[in-house]
Structure 1
Amino acid sequence: MNPAQTSESIQTAAPAAADRDARIAVTVFPILVIIAGLVGFLVPDAIKPAAPWVPYLLGVIMFCMGLTLTPLDFSSVVRRPWAVALGLLAHYVIMPAAGWAIAMALHLPPELAVGVILVGCAPSGTASNVMAYLAKGDVALSVAVATVSTLVAPLVTPALTLLLAGSFLNVDAGGMVLDIVKTVLIPVVLGLAVRLFLKKAVAAVLPALPWISAVVIAAIVAIVVAGSATKLAAAGGIVFLAVVLHNGFGLGLGYLAGKLGRLDHKARRALAFEVGMQNSGLAATLAAAHFSPLAALPSAVFSVWHNVSGAIVAAWLARRPVRAEAGAGEG
């Protein structure tokens, strides 16, 4: 989970204010994560003792996500089941398959291969919602796909990881299911319940939630980097290449999936980010818990890069006209 405005704030705020807040988020977050990564690399011994806190930190992020969800987000699934189903299918086919193919093509060592594949098997990250907004995409569809992909993650993520990464390392799919339920599903449901019963209190803290998520995900990155600091110098280059390729395939093929599904151009833009941007915090948590700190390194790098690339692609798309016809080309 990465910092993002809530769907409600994006769609109801004045355009100028929403633009400003979204651009600040996508500018500040990568900087914050880079600083956190440097701290983890430079003073690993001071950060490593915090490793047991990673699952709880992820739980905080997912609780914040639950607080931001509204009935409107779920009604989008009912109103547009085909578009949401296509986005969900594209996300959980393209990114896992691309992760496996990149790991094989680059001959990654087992721990890094599993780390890359695990990033691909994670649900969408909510920073995708901000990118869809900046790109003049379909924000409602973006939020719906991100929400559903998160809710089905306890079953889908472990199954795909076992299928694609089981040949590299032993995968405890059952343990992974339990971990995702505890660190993702339960906090999200609790957040939803709190939002339902304490609307006024939640409304007062909503503006702070993206920044809470930003700080917490940065803390996770610092801990992950600290755990693999001794191997980072040797593995950093190949991990960065794998992450850039992985994210690039996701963005491009996500857009193509929307085109092949005959969705309109705003929806295609949304799917590009829903497929290409991952919940790297969850991937890092699972990698560190079930494999090794080195396996979590691709998630840490992905956390930085997909926000940078997403902002660049969103800015480029925002300068291109959005056509209403589903079958028309976009130039």
Structure 2
Amino acid sequence: MRALSTIGSVLTRYVALIIIALSALAFVVPQAFVWATGYTTIFLGVIMFGMGLTIKPSDFKVVFTHPKEVLIGAVAQYTIMPLAAWALATVLQLPADIALGVILLGCCPGGTASNVITYIAKGDVPLSVGMTIVSTLLAPLVTPVLVYALAGAWVEVSIVAMFVSVVQVVLLPVIAGLVVSAFAHRAMQTVQPILPVISVFAIAFIVAGITAANTTKILESGALVLAVVVLHNAIGMGVGYAIARLFKMDYAKTTALAIEVGMQNSGLSVSLAAANFAANPLATLPGAIFSVWHNIAGSVFASVRCREGKQVAPAASSARA
């Protein structure tokens, strides 16, 4: 089990490289990965079920012990990224499919990868987990309404259909994981080391499947989507950081908030695009590319913050002395 835990930790740390490698292979040999598109919802459900299994009752304590920070995080999550996505789509006059995909991405909750990146950056991990839990639980109501309000100018959006999709692929698997963990906690402890491995390959196959199914479209629009995704992610992290500083949060909380806001549940955006907007196939592309980019950008941000943290710690120690 210790070996599995070590493997899971390594795979999680290098998830971006794994996604890039599988996506590159899918681009060269699409027929070997195109099958994965039919299992996008299942893969995401497995990831969310794994998230539910790893949530402990103590994780909910942060919601009540630090309600201010969690509330700020939830509000920032569902304002900064959706509005930034809409602004980019409008200002850059993006094609309808890509605009829809970017807005879908912006309206999704925070991704579980943010918890890992926060840990690497020596941020406040319990706060990161608390913000992810809250934004995920709010997603069935908030995400469809935001997509309807912001993407309605480009495509027809059904709030009810999206609500059902988010409940099926996010809320129900998370609740199922919570229930199973509560009633079979000891048994789940034996399988927990393998959960990161499953999650890493699930998201990698989601992205690889989308890549395999859209090789021609990626050649045509990949550079544009990558540029928009990079801007979107940078806005999220930058404004999230600024808001945390505005509220005078300490180093650890500022780090957690900036990462949480900038890193979306890109797998959900891909799943929602595939399930609800089949007539707009390029709408899956922003989420697929974001899956790769936000892990790269998050890792870079984490390394920068770690260096800053080393400078902050001695100063804090001197102040206390």
Q: Within the alignment, does 1:167 sit opposite 2:153 as a pair?
A: yes
Amino acid at match of 1:52: G
- How far apart are the structure 2 equivalents of 1:324 and 1:288? 50
CA 1:51–1:63: 2 relative to 1, 3 Å: same
Cα distance in 1, alignment partners of residues 144 and 214 from structure 2:
23
The match for 2:274 is 288
Give the deviation of 1:21 after TM superposition: 7.6
| Contact 1:265-1:325 within 8 A present in 2 as well | no
Q: Is the 8 A contact 2:51 2:177 kept in 1?
A: yes
Q: Does 1:90 align with 2:59?
A: no
Q: TM-score, normalised by structure 2?
A: 0.91
Q: Does 1:179 align with 2:169?
A: no
Which among 251, 265, 268 is matched to residue 251 of structure 2? Answer: 265
Query: How many residues were matched structurally?
Result: 309
Match of 2:14, SS state, is helix
Q: Comparing both structures, which one devotes a greater share of its residues to helix?
A: 2
State the SS of the aligned residue for 1:152: helix
SS at match of 1:319: helix
Q: Cα offset for 1:323?
A: 6.3
Map 1:174-213 to 2 at 5 A. Answer: 174-213=160-199
Shift of 1:135: 1.5
What secondary structure, in the 3-state scheme, does the structure 2 residue paired with 1:167 have? coil
Does residue 1:298 correspond to 2:292, yes or no? no
Shift of 1:22: 8.9
One-letter amino acid of the counterpart of residue 92, structure 2: L
Q: Return 5+ residue gaps in structure 1 as ranges.
A: 1-12, 327-331
Residue in structure 1 matched with residue 112 of structure 2 by the alignment: 126
Q: Identify which range, 113-122 or 128-137, moves more after superposition.
A: 128-137
Query: Are the structure 2 counterparts of residues 149 and 167 from structure 1 closer, same or farther at C-alpha, using a change threshold of 3 Å?
Result: same
Contact 1:250 1:276 in 2 (8 A): yes
2:155 match: secondary structure: coil
CA contact (8 A) 1:254 1:276 kept: yes
1:9 is aligned to: none
Q: Is it true that 1:253 corresponds to 2:245 in the alignment?
A: no
Instruction: Report the counterpart of residue 26 of structure 2 in structure 1.
Output: 40
**1:181-229 residue CA offsets vs partner (Å, 9 max, x unmatched):** 0111000000001111111111111111111000011111111112222
| % identical equivalent positions | 47
User: RMSD in angstroms over aligned alpha carbons?
Assistant: 2.1
Question: Structure 1 length normalisation: TM-score?
Answer: 0.89
Deviations 1:105-139 (A, max 9, x none): 22210000010111111111111111111222111
Cα drift, residue 27 of structure 1: 4.3
Contact 2:9 2:196 in 1 (8 A): no
8 Å CA contact 1:30–1:307 kept in 2: the answer is yes
SS of 1:51's equivalent in the other structure is helix
Aligned to 2:10: 24
Q: Quote the offset at 1:298 in angstroms.
A: 0.5
Between 42-51 and 284-293, the greater mean CA deviation after superposition = 42-51
Deviation sequence 1:49-102 (CA, Å, 0-9, x none): 443321111111100000000011111101111110000000110000111111
**CA contact 1:265–1:324 (8 Å) conserved in 2:** no
2:98 touches 2:283 (CA, 8 Å); kept in 1? yes
> 1:23 Cα deviation (Å)?
7.2
In 1, Cα distance between the equivalents of 2:8 and 2:33?
Answer: 30
Alignment partners' CA distance in 2, 1:72 and 1:197: 16
Unmatched runs of 5 consecutive residues or more in structure 2: 317-321
Distance of 2:260 and 2:35 partners within structure 1 = 34
1:20-45 Cα shifts (integer Å, max 9, x gaps): 88973454211111122223323334
* Correspondent of 1:55 among 23, 41, 55: 41
The letter of the residue matching 2:138 is V
Q: Which residue of 2 aligns with 1:154?
A: 140
Measure, in 1, the Cα distance between the counterparts of 2:167 and 2:75. 21
